[in-house]
Amino acid sequence: MMEQNTELISPTVIIALGCVVLFLCLQRKNLRRPPCIKGWIPWIGAGLELGKAPLEFIEKARIKYGPVFTVFAMGNRMTFVTEEEGINIFLKSKEVNFELAVQTPVYRTASIPKNIFLTLNEKLYIMMKGKMGTFNIHQFTGQLTEELHEQLENLGTQGTMELTNFVRNLLYPVTVNILFNKGLFLTHERKMKEFYQHFQAYDEGFEYGSQMPEWLLRNWSKSKRWLLALFEKSIPDIKAYRSAKDNSVTLMQAVLEILEMETNKLNPNYVLLMLWASLSNTIPVAFWTLAFVLSHPDVHKTIMEGISTVFGTASKDKIKVTEKELKKLLLIKWCILETIRLRAPGIITRKVMKPIKILNFTIPSGDLLMLSPFWLHRNPKYFPEPELFKPERWKKANLEKHAFLDCFMAFGGGKFQCPGRWFALLEIEICIILILYKYDCTLLDPLPKQSYLHLVGVPQPNDQCRIEYKQRI
């Protein structure tokens, strides 16, 4: 009788125990993963909520779930890190990779095949870092000043304009003339207007374009194809161009030289990618810097006093700007950096190659590791009174040694920090100096609020903001 009972019970008990063990194992495994926001629709996950206002979504998630959390959306697992331990791993770990994280967006937005991108990126990066690094950057000072003076002539003696257009009309041609070659596709006024429209459409749709197949974005795809066709025609001009002054090679020519070793089919695609990289953040940062300075009368006044001390009374004269003068106008640099702190890109990303430990969690390989410079710069632990525009906080940064403030991450960090950062800072610095020296400027609208709509790049303004300018005598 006893024997019969044991025979009946044991298989059931074994199965039940097995289930319990399996359940516990799975639980333990899951416990070691960060909390995950996954919504309820398969594959789409939290995509719909995230899509409404992505920048706000990730901060609300941090408050609710803590310093490390995962968002599952559109088939991707994105794990956000927000504090020291996670940030250090993001920047320093050998198990996370920049190129693998961006290869799909690069393929979608510029049609550069993943294998070509992976083969060439390091070579291109090293070249750009050298050409625009701290050692060489002041070679651009004279050229930037001349180009900016030339573009400022087109403003006339006075007027009112949308500040975004004001900045674009100046910096599109200046950047293209210097980094690509002088006069490239901007000689003809009608063509120029068409170029602006298509580039703007491409830039505005870039975030969606980096996540979705092109056939879902008809207008964006049209602008992308228009730009690629234009660049295809421009390649011979870019290659043939020689600077009248020193015969030096432009940044784009150096890119094309590296490309030629591998392939000669993707030249227009790299022109598109480089053009986007060099304009998409610099233009909004110049916009926000002017907006912040002009809406802070005390800062504006101190800057004007500095400019007069260095260059004499402000007038319409064509002043020459050199490294020596820039060193004396530190407040302008602080204003630009403080602006970038407050209007930093929404996210930067790395791909996890092998499981990594952050706090008590294990982040599985295949996850995208995400860091938000925008929110990091709003953490009072790292930046006291984070919402205030306080240029003087930059007094503490060792700018002489080219160091930013700790936890300032607007240009990314680690091995693949933005190679164009010194160029962008110099371009905006000279731009602000020349505008304020030559024109009496006023904002006709209050400082606009920023949009929370995108994660890629610097936030755009939500409202209109007009500038009134009058040439000085």
List interacting residues with ligand HEM (CB under 6 A).
98, 121, 125, 128, 179, 277-278, 281-282, 285, 340, 345, 348, 410-413, 416-421, 423-424, 458
Q: What is the rounded CA–CA span in Å between residue 215 and residue 276?
A: 21
Q: In the complex with ligand HEM, which residue's Cβ is closer, 95 or 468?
A: 95
281 marked among binding-site residues: yes
Q: What is the rounded CA–CA span in Å between residue 70 and residue 72?
A: 6
Residue type, 95: E
Question: Residue 351 CB, nearest distance to ligand HEM (Å)?
Answer: 11
φ, ψ of residue 470 in degrees (nearest 5): -135, 125
Strand 368-371 to strand 76-81: parallel, antiparallel, or no bridges (unpaired)? parallel
Instruction: Let me know the angle formed at the C-alpha of 247 by 282 and 276, rounded to the nearest 5 degrees.
Output: 20
Q: 351 near 368, Cβ under 8 Å? A: yes
Question: Residue 348 CB, nearest distance to ligand HEM (Å)?
Answer: 4
Written as one string, the DSSP assignment of 56-87 is HHHHHHHHHH-SEEEEEETTEEEEEE-SHHHH
Question: Residue 423 CB, nearest distance to ligand HEM (Å)?
Answer: 5
List the strands of the sheet with 348-352, edge to edge: 36-37, 68-73, 76-81, 368-371, 348-352, 96-97
Q: In the complex with ligand HEM, which residue's Cβ is closer, 352 or 410?
A: 410
Cα atoms found within 13 Å of the Cα of residue 1, Cβ hemisphere only? 0
Q: In the complex with ligand HEM, which residue's Cβ is closer, 238 or 285?
A: 285
Q: In the complex with ligand HEM, which residue's Cβ is closer, 391 or 420?
A: 420
Question: Residue 178 CB, nearest distance to ligand HEM (Å)?
Answer: 9
**DSSP code at position 41:** B
**Cα 178 versus chain centre, distance:** 20
97 marked among binding-site residues: no
Question: Residue 112 CB, nearest distance to ligand HEM (Å)?
Answer: 11
Q: In the complex with ligand HEM, which residue's Cβ is closer, 61 or 128?
A: 128
Which residues fall in the annotated binding site for heme? 418
Which residues fall in the annotated binding site? 108, 281, 418
Which residues fall in the annotated binding site for substrate? 108, 281
